[in-house]
Structure 1
Amino acid sequence: MGGVFGTIERIWRYPIKSTGGELLDEVAVDARGLAGDRLYAVRDAEGKFGSGKNTRRFRRMPGLLHLRSRYPGKSVTEPPELLDPDGVPVPDPTAYVRRYLGRNDVEVAREGTISHFDQLPLSVLTTATLDWVRAAVPGVPVDERRFRPNLLVRTPPGTPAFVEDEWFGGTARIGGALRLRFERSSERCVMTNEAQQDLPHSPLVLRAVAQAHDMRLDALATVVHPGRVRVGDTVEPV
C-alpha cells in the first residue's frame, strides 16, 4: 500500500439515517464515526429503522431519500433539522414523516442501544471507482450520493477502479491525528438505484456493480485513533 492514496474531496454526514445528507468542510471523528452521523433515524413501532431494504433491523420506507437532514449549528448535541423535498426545514420532524410516509407508527428517534449503522462506522469511496460507475451506465446521472459515503477521496490519475480493495487490512492517516483501518467493502442494495433529489431511479447502477464487482463497492473503515478530517487532507498509508 505504498504512496499517497489521495486527498479528501468531499465529506458527507447523514444526521438522520436514510435521508439525504449534508456537506461539511471539516468534522471530528471518533470510534463511532463522524460526529453526529446517523445519530437519528426514522423508527417504527417494532423498533426497526427506516432504510432502503427490509432486514432484521431495517424497514424499507420509500421516499426518505427525497428528504435531507442537517445540524443547524456546529454542535451535534441538539437534534438535527429535517428538510422537505424543497429544502425547507420542517417544524416537527416526527409529525412531518408521519404525514409524508402515511404512517402513524413512526418517529424520528435518537440512537439508543441498537446501532443505526448498517455495518461499520465509516464508508470511504474513491473518485476512480465513481468514475468507473459513470462510464458503466452512460446516460444515467451518477455521483457519490448514490453510494452514501462519508469520505470521497480524489485519487491520482490512472488509479484503477475498485482500488479500495487494495486497502483492506491496512491503516491510513488523514490529516494530523486521524487513523482509519480499512476492513472490507459494503454489499450494495437497491438503495443505489433509488431516486433522490435530482438523481432519477435507475436499475442499471446496481446491475453494473453486481456484474463487475459482486455487489460490493467502497471501503468500510474503523477508527484506530480519533481526530479531525478536513477537505483537502491527504490520505496516506501508515
Structure 2
Amino acid sequence: MPYEETPVGSVQALYRYPVKSTAGQALRASAVTDRGLQHDRRWAVYTDDGGIASGKRTRRFRPVPGLMQWSSSIEDSETAPLLLSPEGRQYRVDDPAASRALSAAFGRELTLRTETAVGHHDETPLHLVTTSSLAALEGLTGGAVDERRFRANIVIDTGSRLGFCEDEWVGAELVLGGEVLLRLGEGMPRCVMIDETQAGIAAQRKALKLLGTHHSTEFGLQAHVMRTGKLRVGDVVTLRRTLTA
C-alpha cells in the first residue's frame, strides 16, 4: 500500500527505567525489542498484596510515594540492574539485600521482581514526547520543564513545529533511523507522578493541573514496536502515513 513520508525531527534523548518507578538512565543508543527499549522496566518493586509499586492506585499498581527518589541503571552486558538509594547506597536487584533496604526505607514489605505475565509498562511498551510540546508546557507553567519529569523513552527534537504537534500523528507510523518502526497510539494519560520529586528533579506541583485544563491530561504519545532494531541519539525521525484512494 502506498504511503507518504515526512521528516519531523530527530532523536534528542533516550531513557530507560530498569526498575519501574525509579529514576532512570539516559542512553546514547539502545536496542529496541518487541517490549520496548532493552531492559526497560523489566524489574519492578512489588507490595505485599502483589501490586506493582507506582505513583497511582489501579488494579495492577499501588502507590509508593518517594520511590522515584531511588534510581536504577544497567549495562547491556549485565543481567540484573543496580538500584541506588537517595543516600548513595548501591544494590544489585537480584540480591535480597535490595528488597530489605527498600522495606526498611519505606516501612513496609517491598520485594523486587522481574516481569511475568503481568506487564510493568503503564500503557504501551514505548512512549515519546516532543520538544514542541515541552516548549508549549513551559509557556503554560512560565518556567523550565525538565523532560525527565515525564519518564518517556524517546524525546524527539521537533524544531519549530507548533506545540503538541504529535496530536496529529495518532494512528500513523514513525521511522526512526534506518531500522526502528513504531505505530503511534493515543496520547499518554498522565498522573500525579509528573508533579512529584524525582532523583535530581524537584517537585513541580502545577504541571498535571495545567495539562488537565489545556490538554485532556495527556502528554506525548503511546507507541507500539512494529520493527525492532538499534536506536541512537541523533537518528532522523520520519512520519509515515498510508495513502488512501
**TM-score when scaled to structure 2?**
0.91
- For the 8 Å contact 2:131–2:159, the answer to whether it is kept is no
Structure 1 runs of 4+ off > 4 angstroms? Answer: none
User: Size of the alignment, in residue pairs?
Assistant: 233
Deviation at 1:128, TM superposition (A): 0.6
Aligned to 1:230: 232
Counterpart among 111, 114, 119 of residue 115 in structure 1? 119
Counterpart among 95, 102, 110 of residue 97 in structure 1? 102
Deviation at 1:75, TM superposition (A): 2.5
Aligned to 1:84: 85
Is 1:163 the counterpart of 2:168 in the alignment?
no
Is 1:62 the counterpart of 2:38 in the alignment?
no
AA matched with 2:19: I
3-state SS of 2:127 partner: strand
Alignment of 1:29-48 (within 5 A): 29-48=32-51
AA matched with 1:43: Y
Aligned to 1:130: 134
**Structure 1: any 5+ residue segments left out of the alignment?**
none
Aligned to 1:14: 17
Deviation at 1:113, TM superposition (A): 1.1
Deviation at 1:203, TM superposition (A): 2.3
- For the 8 Å contact 2:48–2:110, the answer to whether it is kept is yes
Is 1:142 the counterpart of 2:145 in the alignment?
yes
AA matched with 2:185: E
3-state SS of 2:189 partner: coil
- For the 8 Å contact 2:179–2:230, the answer to whether it is kept is yes
Deviation at 1:87, TM superposition (A): 4.2
Q: Which has the higher strand share?
A: 2
AA matched with 1:222: H
Q: What percentage of aligned pairs have identical amino acids?
A: 36
**TM-score when scaled to structure 1?**
0.93
Deviation at 1:201, TM superposition (A): 2.0
- For the 8 Å contact 1:39–1:116, the answer to whether it is kept is yes
Deviation at 1:22, TM superposition (A): 0.2
Deviations 1:82-132 (A, max 9, x none): 0111444236321211111111x2111111110001110101100010111
Deviation at 1:223, TM superposition (A): 0.5
Is 1:176 the counterpart of 2:181 in the alignment?
no
C-alpha distance in structure 2 between counterparts of 1:174 and 1:146, whole Å: 23
